[in-house]
């Protein structure tokens, strides 16, 4: 997917970072010039992903860039449809979370003509699910705000999904030992159970239910304990409708959260994998509570 190396750069660079994705010390970056030309680079850095996304043209200029076809960039995303998609028209703020699919695998993969990239399939699936769920809101399902398009793609392609921002995910909350309380465990389990029940009543299987995809808002009490006040299920790019036989694009990691015997690619979708994950979540919550109490 990556083209020729740029040997002679303009003296006055007019670049901005279109996409940055870091793993370890290596970062993949897509850059767009003022004329709409896309470029790509992989480089080592200690800078955070957020810092890289805000690189100035002067910081981008020394990086070895390669031409990247605009058609290949478009393939990573989904064409915007005003009839079926809600456009987010406000500016993202501290109250919103902007999600973009990881593109690393697709950037380094050459797709045949007419074959959709994995990232675009996951993005399309999540948008479809969130548009449906937005018509049936529930206090234990993540709040969807709409989709974003980027002017570099003419405003015709969805690059990101916008959600309400929560304080942390469940894994982060439980890293704080003091916040592993019976009250939090019951509140979280009850909320997630209600969220799963709502999904299943709508004929939707989540397929990736685990602490990383459960989001929490909390209040810090005088004791320092973070008391959960809101819990929601998020991350719907693996979700599928009951009765379908769509190929799996993604599901929870094998092991505790996913029982391979319950569902294989090509099986008719039902709620069994979610119910398994829910049982595992209950065990996980109480396991860490017992660990906290036993170490006192």
Both structure tokens of 41: 């680079």
Give the number of other Cβ atoms within 10 Å of residue 279's Cβ. 11
Residue 116: per-residue pLDDT: 75
Local structure of residue 255 (DSSP, 8 states): B
Write out the E strands in 113-155: 144-149
The whole-angstrom separation of Cα 257 and Cα 270 is 16
Domain boundaries, the chain: 2-68, 73-164, 168-294
Name 109's Cβ contacts closer than 8 Å, sequence gap at least 6: 1, 117
Between the alpha carbon of residue 135 and those of residues 96, 132, 186, the distances in Å are: 20, 6, 28
Please give the helix or strand (H or E) that residue 21 lies within, else none.
strand 15-23
Residue 289: per-residue pLDDT: 83
How much is the pTM? Answer: 0.89
For 168-294, CATH gives: 1.10.510.10
Write out the E strands in 24-63: 26-33, 38-44
Between the alpha carbon of residue 58 and those of residues 54, 121, 158, the distances in Å are: 11, 35, 28
pLDDT, tens digit only, all 296 positions of the chain: 455 566 556 555 688 999 999 989 999 999 999 889 999 999 999 999 999 999 999 899 889 999 999 988 999 999 999 999 999 999 999 999 999 988 877 776 665 555 678 889 999 999 999 999 999 999 999 999 999 999 999 999 999 999 999 999 999 999 999 999 999 999 999 999 999 999 999 999 999 999 999 999 999 999 999 999 999 999 999 999 999 877 666 676 666 787 776 667 677 888 999 999 999 999 999 988 887 666 65
Between the alpha carbon of residue 144 and those of residues 14, 131, 291, 294, the distances in Å are: 34, 8, 35, 40
The whole-angstrom separation of Cα 62 and Cα 215 is 39
CB of 52 closer than 8 Å to CB of 20: yes
Residue 295: per-residue pLDDT: 60
CB of 230 closer than 8 Å to CB of 247: no
The label of the residue with tokens 């190929």 reads: 247
Q: How distant is the alpha carbon of residue 153 from its chain centre?
A: 21
């Amino acid at each position: 997917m990556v083209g020729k190396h740029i040997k002679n750069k303009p003296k006055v660079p007019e670049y901005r970072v279109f996409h940055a994705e870091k793993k370890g010390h290596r970062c993949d970056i897509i850059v767009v010039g003022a004329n709409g030309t896309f470029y790509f680079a992989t480089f080592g850095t200690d800078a955070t992903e957020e810092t890289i996304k805000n690189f100035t043209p002067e910081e981008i200029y020394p990086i070895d860039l390669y031409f990247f076809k605009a058609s290949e960039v478009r393939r990573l995303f989904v064409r915007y449809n005003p009839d079926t998609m809600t456009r987010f028209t406000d500016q993202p703020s501290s109250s919103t979370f902007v999600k973009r699919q990881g593109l690393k695998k697709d950037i380094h993969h050459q797709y045949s003509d007419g074959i959709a990239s994995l990232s675009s399939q996951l993005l399309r699936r999540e948008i479809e699910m969130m548009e449906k769920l937005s018509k049936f809101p529930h206090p234990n399902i993540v709040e969807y705000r709409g989709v974003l398009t980027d002017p570099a793609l003419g405003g015709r392609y969805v690059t990101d999904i916008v959600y309400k921002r929560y304080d942390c995910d469940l894994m982060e909350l439980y890293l704080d030992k003091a916040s592993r309380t019976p009250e939090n465990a019951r509140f979280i389990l009850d909320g997630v159970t209600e969220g799963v029940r709502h999904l299943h009543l709508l004929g939707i299987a989540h397929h990736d239910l685990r602490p990383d995809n459960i989001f929490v808002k909390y209040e810090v009490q005088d004791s320092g304990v973070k008391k959960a006040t809101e819990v929601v299920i998020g991350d719907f790019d693996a979700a599928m409708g009951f009765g379908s036989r769509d190929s799996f694009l993604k599901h929870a990691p094998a092991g505790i959260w996913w029982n391979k015997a319950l569902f294989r690619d090509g099986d008719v979708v039902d709620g069994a994998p979610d119910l398994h994950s829910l049982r595992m979540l209950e065990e996980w919550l109480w396991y860490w509570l017992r660990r906290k109490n036993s170490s006192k």
